[in-house]
Chains A and B, each alone.
Chain A
């Protein structure tokens, strides 16, 4: 790899394009760590937010009015507040309150932990509504048919409603998950060392704002591009001929 790094050093010497993330080992190391942090933060938040969405949509169909109200309250709380404010709220307010009541110093969770919680709940609130739209699109007669075959309510949801609903709501889910990956950048406000945070540090140290802005832009295009490609592949692979399309 050494010739590649040297080429970038030449690029700087010859043309003043200062991409220290290639030829400076220190910057390269922390930048790769930043991208890696973005990837696993996104991955964990995606999985948890989908889980929240599935459970939330199930609870929304509950016979118990209070369960439905609690889910509704959760959706309103997380959908109607900006993610940055939620992050600050969890990290500085909720964590302090929990630490005080349990007598813990140094915080209940680190910045990464709170970013996962906050982003998962944020995207999860949208996912509940997305899955609900899918669930409601499943024909009543299909559910009655499953019912008459002796399925329990959970079994109907698990084996009939959800698989069909999933196919209906995948395009909307794609949108939300793409947004989630982009929203991970707000985690830099609570010092999660993800791509934007590290880039900010690098351009402050090296005065290469212009170069790093372009690098950040390319990184997110590639990351989100990979997610979109994967989601399209998944959508195509679970397609039921004649259903939906």
Chain B
């Protein structure tokens, strides 16, 4: 606690970078996972290939991905963009499956009704299927947000600073206050993101609460 009080401006600063490095990929990953998840559902044969290969991306050790990224992207090694790109990969790995599952959980009769009402192709996807899949996708997004916040801290090992700096410095110099502050700040950040997603999902699915209230 003493350590936090003496250093809080720096902690806030690092938490800001941490939020940026884990939050932006969450949004980008979500946007990218929709077409992939949709493709996996639309063409059943591609389902195992898409789901398995995207899931495997998650097993790439973060340190390795951070270091290999500049070789793939042609970016400079200390560029925070490497971390953003790597985190997008992890987000994608978690979300493609959720999006696919969410879309395929939309009951057949609903889809048929939508088609009968003249909803076709893209309009059906964005107007009917995606909104109905929001609760499932949101649950995947929550997992991804929490996992991103945790993984980003490894980026300190390649010189991109965020809350992970506190973990490494606290460990190297044995300052328990700093180590603990780093851990707690990560948890607080993750929980805040989590609440935000829950809230967002609730706003996007008014019928869920409305239905409950009417019953």
A and B form one complex: no
B residues sitting closer than 8 Å to A (CB atoms) are none
